[in-house]
Structure 1
């Protein structure tokens, strides 16, 4: 992406980009040498929001230049370390308990002043590279080190404790996230071993593993690392692209015709080149012509942004083209944060639904290279009324030809008002009234209607072509009664915006999803699944082992081919998270 930018920007911007690249190279090269002043100088010029003061520079020089043989005498006795920990302004509140546990376990000895200072330099590099994970290095309060300038022992202890606190806080943020998770009702049923930043740091100091701490703390999910790479690319795009002016709507007044010139095409072409949707070989065409290559580039862009890939420059496509790289950077940072919230799930088959993208993926994490993930469109809960909750459930059984047991909230808000207008509504929609004991009641009588209003009777819809759950329901028991299912209203999958349900998730290709989750059961194949989905009695099939279903929210992800995929913030959760992370 950076190469595309440099080819298509002015020489002045190209030179500026070259200087930025030079700074990045110096950053990586300096940290490979024991050259502390160079490291500090680079910290002052790279990632401009972060600065290390001269006072901090002197403290770090004092820390890293101490000979190993007398480090305890030069810096901190046990009492000095205890005093540094006890200072109320020494550490962020979130790190205080971790730091106290760390030094208690280590006998209140200094941890960073021995040897040649390699571990301390590696720790500083970890803090600098927090930026690559979408975290802000300035959040780790190295510059706020207390102590008296004329007291080397207090200085040394303060530096040691502050560096430990910063590293522990970074590890905690990388593994658990900075902000409290968005509403998530259920954890995964199977969790991995607990992650403890204190124990991880202790082990790394003994085993010379400080440089690997960040990688070990970050989520071990392939999507996380793909998004992290895309974040770096879009940061480069944001820094080198300069201003991102709006693109005016094309004045063609109708459908674009391939081969014709249009006044508004050149800025669209240039933007697609920068975003990588129009390859360089196709970029040399006449700037103003709506060519076949340009139409294909528009379709690629539309596909990446969840739009109807028709090659037309409608309002939705123009709006997506107008979104700046800086905004995309923010979306990617928010995705990295949300991925840190996800609980660990066992390796094996997983179903993941990205709510704002209206997409489902099903894959086997134990064998990632064996097959392409199953991907399909979904319909999710309506943003204004019934948003789909975010959680990790466990799919345990399937129901072929299911009944739809209408939730009480829908009975009150929709069924009862419709019955008041049309007493034949239940009959016309293949519905029936059922008593608490399971007895079918006569619809339309005063007693049955009174029972329905009182909640002692309920409505269910019989299996069949009109059933809203379609031919199969994927059950994952949870208090919110959320599940995946087929649908009789298949035309809704053609809509661009598909938050249309009461909260459950309608899947586009239910037969293929059923084959996927039943793959470990010998008697099920594509033919038997399709046979079970034919009209007939309800049939419940329990899975040999539960399949985790991850319902998550990300307006920016990166697919296996490395394509950045963006979606609209339909539930407005990005705004709230950005405020929680102080990004606004």
Structure 2
């Protein structure tokens, strides 16, 4: 799975359609405006004094911001330089409403911007012209800000207004877009520049189309069905797999009532896309996932777009991204589209924090590696796990290659915080042969592991919060690629048992710890995962609460 690879046959047409739509929006806006203007010949021009009064009132009545931006004063800043002259005419108002009514393309909701009411006012000639002008300006400013930094505050936001709105100022962008007849350019510039964002938008459009024709539920088998076994709804299953893109459209249909071997590959592909054990066996979990409605997948994809809007800009160069519910890591060059398409990203499975010890969301900076590291046991693990085991087995530290610091400290010193426990490098070390350090207050980092069997599990939320990586040597090669003294051979040598070796990176590498239950795979198909930490449900509640304010 890649966040940069081009879309495959399943969704390539959707992606290109979205790109063509973006290129033709200027013409579409003009057409839309012309079609809407006939009844608006009496569109009245409001008095500047009235607009000024409304703008000032809006600034005074705005509540303390709870989201990632502070819109107080925006209207005054927008209208002040134009001496509070009205901003909109029938043509530009129709163009703006065309944009707002298509907010669903971005996973946003036109209702958040009062699009329907504004459309009715425009069709009636503007209604109260001053209130219409100010309301449409406010709606567009909020839309641009939402598209740029998201609608609700997240772990990636600070308590201060999002700094990205200094680089992309909605007020200045809207003013320039209107003055230059380039309203859509202001909208396009607000979108996150990650290629993944466009891919998820295409997936969203695809699943919206699927949701227009809901399909019936497939019956659960009485027992697990292997290829060649009997499944009465085999033909329905075949059609479902073709519809979802897991089987090609020209695949041979199965004999009636038989789960054929030719369908196994499609089921395996579906299972892999949905975080299931991809064994090709039909069981309740696979059928349950097949019965999830496209409308629900639409909601998952909408939440992913919102979360992508939260991410701070990390700049060009190497970066690492970890999607927790997908249990996946990608290491890639966050450069131009050409650079992104020239080299596939490094991808691997990961083990992440369990529900009681969730891996937190943040953007860290990887600064150094340690080959053959010590594992400094966190205080929480010492108190909850190590000390009870020491009480039952006085030789526990010795048997697990552990020691106290300072040496030979007593249990009383450990309990009092006067000493700590660490595990020596070696075969038993919980961090394996390498640690990828990104200093942070939570003491979260990436590392290898001697427990290789965990990567074969479909559900891998098993750690105390740190992230175990499947291919540590490959990740080390990516991280050290710009340091000439390091290559595949020298890295393999450093991974062999020996003394701890600290290696500073020539340049820190951003590590984005991310949460998305819907994303795009290397072949262009959507991948879905379980909401392991319940974050989707919480985000839906936050967005609903915002709408009710």
Q: Which residue of structure 2 lines up, in the alignment, with residue 47 of structure 1?
A: none
Aligned equivalent of 2:542: 580
Residue 192 of structure 1: how far off its partner (Å): 9.9
1:542 matched to 2:542? The reply is no
**Which position in structure 1 is the counterpart of 2:234?**
265
CA deviation after TM superposition for structure 1 residue 502, in Å: 0.4
1:429 deviates by 0.4
1:207 counterpart = 2:177: no
Task: Write the distance in 1 (CA, Å) between the matches of 2:234 and 2:135.
Answer: 55
Higher RCO (C-alpha under 8 Å, 6+ residues apart): 2
Which residue of 2 is the match for residue 365 of structure 1? Answer: 334
Residues 58-82 of structure 1: per-residue CA shift (max 9 Å, x gap): 7x6643xxxxxxxxxx513321211
Indicate if the aligned counterparts of 2:33 and 2:92 stay in contact, CA closer than 8 A: no
Distance of 2:212 and 2:52 partners within structure 1 = 44
Q: Distance in 2 between matches of 1:532 and 1:350?
A: 23
Q: Which residue of 1 aligns with 2:113?
A: 140
| Pairwise CA distance, 1:84 | 2.6
Q: Aligned pair in 2 of structure 1 residues 62, 503: CA closer, same or farther (>3 Å)?
A: farther
1:315: how far off? 2.8
After TM superposition, the structure 1 = structure 2 runs for residues 320-469 of structure 1, keeping only pairs within 5 Å, are 320-366=289-335, 367-383=339-355, 385-435=356-406, 441-442=407-408, 448-469=410-431
| 1:31–1:39 Cα contact (<8 Å) kept | no
**1:14 — aligned with what?**
none
Q: Is 1:118 the counterpart of 2:91 in the alignment?
A: yes
Correspondence for 1:225 among 173, 193, 198: 198
Provide the alpha-carbon RMSD of the alignment. 3.0
Number of equivalent positions: 510
The whole-number CA distance in structure 1 between the counterparts of 2:174 and 2:26 is 23
Matched, 1:494 2:456: yes
Partners of 1:475 and 1:229 in 2: CA distance: 35
Q: What secondary structure does 1:201 align onto? A: helix
Q: What is the rounded CA distance, in whole Å, between the counterparts of 1:208 and 1:518 in structure 2?
A: 47
Q: Residue 331 of structure 1: CA displacement? A: 0.2
Q: Which runs of 5+ in 1 are unaligned?
A: 5-26, 41-56, 64-73, 436-440
Which of 272, 275, 284 in structure 2 is aligned with 1:306?
Answer: 275
Q: 1:21 is matched with which residue?
A: none
2:264 aligned residue (295, 300, 303): 295
Contact 2:436 2:447 in 1 (8 A): yes
Secondary structure of the corresponding residue to residue 581 of structure 1? helix
Partner of 2:16: none
Deviation at 1:194, TM superposition (A): 2.4
Does the 8 A contact of 1:219 with 1:339 survive in 2?
yes
User: Unpaired segments of 5 or more residues in structure 2?
Assistant: 1-6, 11-24, 64-69
SS in structure 2 at match of 1:544: strand
TM-score (norm 2): 0.86
Distance in 1 between the 2:320 and 2:52 partners? 49
Using the TM superposition, give the Cα deviation of residue 276 of structure 1 relative to its aligned residue in structure 2, in angstroms.
1.3
Aligned position for 2:440: 478
Give the CA deviation at 1:265: 2.0
SS at match of 1:33: helix
Using the size of structure 1 for normalisation, the TM-score is: 0.81
Match of 1:67 in 2: none
Kindly indicate whether the alpha-carbon contact (under 8 Å) linking 1:223 and 1:559 is maintained by their aligned counterparts in 2: no
Corresponding position: 1:77 with 2:44: no
**Does 1:561 find its partner at 2:526?**
no
Report deviation, 1:532. 0.3
Contact (CA 8 Å) 1:356, 1:569: kept in 2 or not?
Answer: yes
Q: Secondary structure at the residue paired with 2:132?
A: helix
2:170 aligns with one of 186, 192, 197: 197
String of CA shifts for 1:236-286, please: whole Å, max 9, x gaps: 10112x3x44322223x455143x543242332222122111212115343
Query: How far did residue 563 of structure 1 move?
Result: 1.1
